[in-house]
Copies of this chain bind each other. A is one copy, B any other.
């Protein structure tokens, strides 16, 4: 039997139903590119019939040149109406995507209670909708809502719904465990029956309400399904959708199926972390395969056995999914990564010399404190340059003060900074519409007289991440700032229990990095404006 499994990602559609998850069109475009690089086969982008943000996404996604097929989501036509005139179906066709997924009822109880129509009309809704999409030249999949509950209540009706979709021309029949309540044994039995009864390929779409979404997806594949729908990190309504970050390695590394090209599987961890950053959802340290603790060893016995042979306590090589082993007694950042980064920058490094050891220790210490250099290349470059080259002190900070006040409904934010620029003391104050904006304004005001090129830089992204949620407002925060020059972009990081201090640190790194990109940094002799922002990294 065919061992190739089609991966259908719905992070951008069903994933956004998760509590606290809200993605802008920009966010969605970034995630779509990352998913495409991972090698998933379908990317469900949204529901063009329900909101304008998704229409914008599909419009802009056309220029991305994705290899994966973009799919739009919608429902079967409204009851007692005509498919050709259904606004939601028309929006799908207008979106210009090659494939669509339509959800439709398969549980008789739902037809009566939620849809409030006859069983026959629901079957007609399914048939008409697929026939219309197929006449429009699209690939079309049927998400059979509550299929398993429906089958348990009335197997013949649930199968009839599938048959109608098949007759209408549906290319996939996707069996949905919409409320996540079905057990793996039931999934296996019911999918087996469907595979016997129908010739159209079968997909599986599960939810995690019983903490069984991954197992249920595997059970369906074992019974003959050949498409899995899920989301990165298992985002989704209530307890989430099936987690592709677990399903893919289980299928591919354990069960002998093929989902992604082997080398792409190594992008799994970075993809999971990227999506968690964009969605601003904290990733549980213990998340299977991709979590920071997934291959972390704490117990003394485990660690000593791991040192003898990592197979003693690791079920797979962490590198296969792009993760790495960690020994919790000492934080082990990837020393080889750091060295290769320094080599890439043209620095003279050698794993055995004292300077290299010292900077690796320093970076490990910073990571332990909560710094993350994966998303802050420019801060890492500054650290490495400071360690390996003659440090150029462009300016030093003597102090800053920040004042926020609200009275009579008026908010005031002002910042005062005192710098030393090449021996000259500069003392400036500025207002802003928030404390970080005020600090940014004051810092620029102090430096622009020496470096007019700073006018060309702007902060293009600002992210705040609370690191240890349990300590609430006394917790550490990590600030990531992305800055954009004339034609490049760089990112810097700051960490502190004080959000103002963390932002200040990232701001300083950003400006310092920009200034260091100039060929010669001489006070009173600023380099040509156009040089600034031309360095790619």
Contact = CB atoms under 8 A, between A and B. Distances in A.
A287 interface: yes
24 contacts: A19-B292, A19-B293, A19-B328, A19-B374, A20-B374, A22-B372, A26-B470, A180-B288, A181-B254, A183-B255, A209-B294, A239-B294, A280-B463, A398-B407, A401-B406, A403-B403, A404-B501, A434-B499, A434-B501, A437-B497, A439-B473, A459-B472, A464-B499, A499-B499
Interface string A229-251: 00000101111100100100110
Nearest to A184: B215
Interface string A294-318: 1111110110110011011111100
A379 B130 CA distance: 44
Contacts of A311: 109
A208 B286 contact: yes
A210 B250 contact: yes
A34 interface: no
Contacts of A482: 472
Given A208-B286, A214-B212, A462-B466, A473 B434 contact: yes
A122 B285 CA distance: 35
B288 A208 contact: yes
A504 B407 CA distance: 13
A408 B313 CA distance: 48
A281 B470 contact: yes
Contacts of A459: 472-473
Interface residues of A, number: 128
Given A236-B286, A281-B470, A400-B406, 8 more contacts: A22-B331, A51-B331, A114-B305, A180-B288, A209-B288, A212-B218, A399-B408, A463-B469
A288 to B, nearest CB: 4
Contact of A470 (B210, B239, B280, B331): B280
A315 B250 contact: no
A120 to B, nearest CB: 21
A385 interface: no
B463 A466 contact: yes
Contact of A402 (B75, B110, B403): B403
B434 A291 contact: no
Interface in A375-414: 375, 398-408, 411, 413
Given A17-B298, A113-B305, A404-B435, A291 B239 contact: yes
Interface in A304-356: 304-305, 308-309, 311-316, 328, 331-332
A263 interface: no
A178 interface: yes
A293 B481 CA distance: 26
Contacts of A401: 403-407
Nearest to A465: B280
A238 B440 contact: no
B208 A474 contact: no
B411 A400 contact: no
A131 interface: no
Nearest to A418: B407
A195 B349 CA distance: 50
- Can you list the 3 inter-chain pairs with the closest CB atoms, starting with the nearest? A181-B315, A215-B215, A459-B472
A238 B315 CA distance: 12
Contacts of A238: 286, 293-297
A179 interface: yes
B434 A458 contact: no
A501 B460 CA distance: 22
A364 to B, nearest CB: 14
A96 interface: no
A483 to B, nearest CB: 8
Interface string A177-193: 01111011100000000
Contact of A297 (B26, B237, B296): B237
Contacts of A136: none
A462 B476 CA distance: 10
Contacts of A400: 405-407
